[in-house]
Amino acid sequence: MSDFFQHGEIATFHRLKQRDLAELEAELAEATRHRPISLVLPYIPVELKGPGLPKIVEELRHVTYLKNIIVTVGRANAEEFREAKRFFSVLPQRPKVIWCTGPTIGNIYKLLAEKGINVGDDGKGRSAWTAYGYILGLEDSQVIALHDCDIVTYSRDLLARLCYPVAHPAIGFGFCKGYYSRVTDQMHGRVTRVFVTPLIRALKETLGSNQFLDYLDSFRYILAGEFSMDVDVAHLIRIPGDWGLEVGVLAEIHRNCALRRICQIDLSDNYEHKHQPLTFEDPNKGLLKMGTDITKSLFRTLASMGYTLTNEVFVTLRASYLRIAQDLIARYEYDSEINGLNYDRHKEGSAAEAFMRCIVSAGQQYLETPFELPQISNWNRVISAVPNIFELLIDAVERDSKG
């Protein structure tokens, strides 16, 4: 049972009761007569071996209100792409499978590079961006939803709740971010709890409060990978191509949407997916690499707002971050104790000290390359550079599908 408190800059929709799923899906089916929904599933072959994806596909077999399912296949060779097509072919929605590392789509990426559009490296960001372009080219959807393929606790109730605030014509938000609790016998979500939340609050202390940082601090699970949006928003936002995807998307949403059209929704009572390793010895892997990319994304966004970021600022920020993180860690320990959960305060403290290195690394990289543009251009600019890009993209997907 959730609380009903409205906190922060954006609307929060809670899970106040267990609503009848059939009733919820019937309302969505009616809504999609006017606002059809396309679902994007960013997939990599390793997820076929995990426990989450088979459950997701089984649940999606019973979803009748989706217009399209778009599966983006990254980090895949030809055999792995064919395997993905076979696996997802059981879905009655007849999903389109996009081979993002294949030669056909690769030729489109090369064409865009020749026109000065850098689409970045293979990853979730580029895969999502490609799927948005394909959906925009089809011109048959008004809502785009995305969720990951490794959700162990998935049910189609999650998808229905994710789509509802944007798809329902009487509500009509432009962007909806999912959130949830991640608890088993212990708290999970270390990057959000121990790093991103205290980092945002340290930035507010160091630079002074502003609406953007207050907005970010309003999200209950800022790194959740699940969101839905209006197709008009998909035309406008740039997509980060690295681990800064979730924070970078929120920055673009803040830049392009009125706050009154942004919301978050409680998707499930609990949520479990694969856990990234925290590799203390290598800051370029796992959660430390994620933390560095997230921090760089924040620095570049703040610089674009007129903030001057210097080495002195980063020194102050590190000290402020660690103090706030340590205070939050104490709260997590007490919260765990009250709820009978396991909690390793030393491990959490060590994680905070490791994450502090992300601030150092991100600050150095920012100062060395302050004009780096890690984001993929929005689709409005791409259309301007290559007017027939949607026709090329649709044709490439069809050729790969038949090949």
What digits encode the pLDDT tens for the residues 14-53?
999 999 999 999 999 999 999 999 999 999 999 999 999 9
Taking 50 as the pLDDT cut, the residues of the chain under it are: none
Q: Where are the beta strands (DSSP E) in 227-364?
A: 227-230, 239-240, 262-266
Domains, the chain: 11-402 (3.90.550.10)
Residue whose tokens read 């432009």: 174
Quick one: pLDDT at residue 373?
67
- Model pTM? 0.96
CB atoms within 10 A of CB 247: 23
For the stretch 87-113, pLDDT in tens is: 999 999 999 999 999 999 999 999 999
Looking from the CA of 358 toward its CB, the CA atoms found within 13 Å total 33
Quick one: pLDDT at residue 280?
67
Q: Which long-range contacts (CB under 8 A, 24 or more apart) does 301-308 make?
A: 301/212, 301/248, 301/251, 302/203, 302/207, 302/212, 303/366, 303/370, 305/210, 305/212, 307/207
